[in-house]
Amino acid sequence: MLEVSHVTKKYGKNLACNDVSFTLEPGSLTVLLGPNGAGKSTIIKSIIGFLKYQGKIMVNGYPNKSSEARRMVGYIPELPSLYPTLTVIEHMEFIARAYKMTNYKERIEMLLERFEMADKKKKFGDELSKGMQQKLNLCIGLLPNPDIILLDEPMLGLDPHAIKELKNYIEEMRQAGKTLFISTHIIDSVDMLWDRTIIMQNGQVKANVSRSEIEGQGKSLEDLFFEVTEGIDASSVRAAEGGSDEEKAETVKEGEAE
Ligand code: ADP
């Protein structure tokens, strides 16, 4: 279990995260939603121990900056940071050795194959297009295969084919019992089987709800997002517009019954 307790992070006077608390249950897929600048990347970077902050973050009982916790958490950054003088395969082998992985060759092949990078093995980091750099970034992040994986805006810069493959891969990881935390500001990209959503705005958690709670209220994720971030009540908007198509159909059926 990953537990974020009262995390506050300031950049100078700018409060990027303001008393943020939540937990990620083992084997769950949580989507972190929020407009640009909401504090999503800041909280992810705090979890992986890149930033100094106030508050506490624990991973399965270990402080997040301990070596035990670091081994349990994987991170795929929003922007790739590649070495211009290493080739694709050298990047992968470098990470495998850094994580002291054994028998990693097969896993490297599998990942490069899946994300269509197998024929780019000998290309240097700075010879890759932006999309290819993003795919290599993904392959590097997925290589160590830890139990908890944090993905910061993972669809950005990927072509539709790679997005589809990534979504398939996310679903496989979910089925394999991984704990997944995926940040995005694009609600449409969340067309996968998520369990919980956390919505941030202005550095604060504005909602933390399970999928069944939202569905139980007859709302979509988009409804909830605008309700939370703009104070728009989707059901009253629908009522003012004369109801949703489903609601209209219900009304017709009721009329017919009379
Ligand atoms: P998000 O990932 O939701 O787009 P961020 O966590 O990147 O949001 O940013 C939250 C706030 O912190 C924003 O106001 C942003 O400008 C600010 N911020 C982020 N990184 C830095 C930084 N390195 N230095 C100063 N301000 C930053």
pLDDT in tens, 44-97: 999 999 999 999 999 999 999 999 999 899 999 988 889 989 999 999 999 999
CATH (residue range 2-216)? 3.40.50.300
Grade residue 126 by pLDDT with cuts at 50, 70 and 90. confident
Q: Please indicate whether residue 201, judged by its CB atom, sits closer than 6 Å to ligand 1.
A: no
Model pLDDT, residue 238: 55
Q: Please indicate whether residue 102, judged by its CB atom, sits closer than 6 Å to ligand 1.
A: no
Show me where the domains of the chain are located.
2-216, 219-258
Q: Please indicate whether residue 79, judged by its CB atom, sits closer than 6 Å to ligand 1.
A: no
**Strands of 62-63's sheet in order across:** 14-24, 2-11, 54-59, 62-63
Cα separation of 127 and 131, whole Å? 12
- Residue 103 is classified by DSSP as S
Which of 33, 36, 41, 150 has the most ligand 1 atoms within 8 A of CB, as the residue to mutate? 41
Cα separation of 93 and 89, whole Å? 6
**Tell me: the pLDDT tens digits for 172-228?**
999 999 999 999 988 888 877 899 999 999 999 999 999 999 989 999 999 999 999
Ligand 1, atom 26, residue with closest C-alpha: 11
Mean pLDDT, range 9-28, rounded to an integer: 96
Model pLDDT, residue 234: 59
Determine the angle formed by the axes of helices 88-98 and 105-114, rounding to 10 degrees. Answer: 130
Decide if pLDDT at 257 tops 50. Answer: no
Percent of the chain exceeding pLDDT 70 equals: 90
Q: Please indicate whether residue 37, judged by its CB atom, sits closer than 6 Å to ligand 1.
A: yes
**Strands of 148-152's sheet in order across:** 73-76, 148-152, 179-184, 29-33, 196-201, 204-210
The pTM of this model reads 0.87
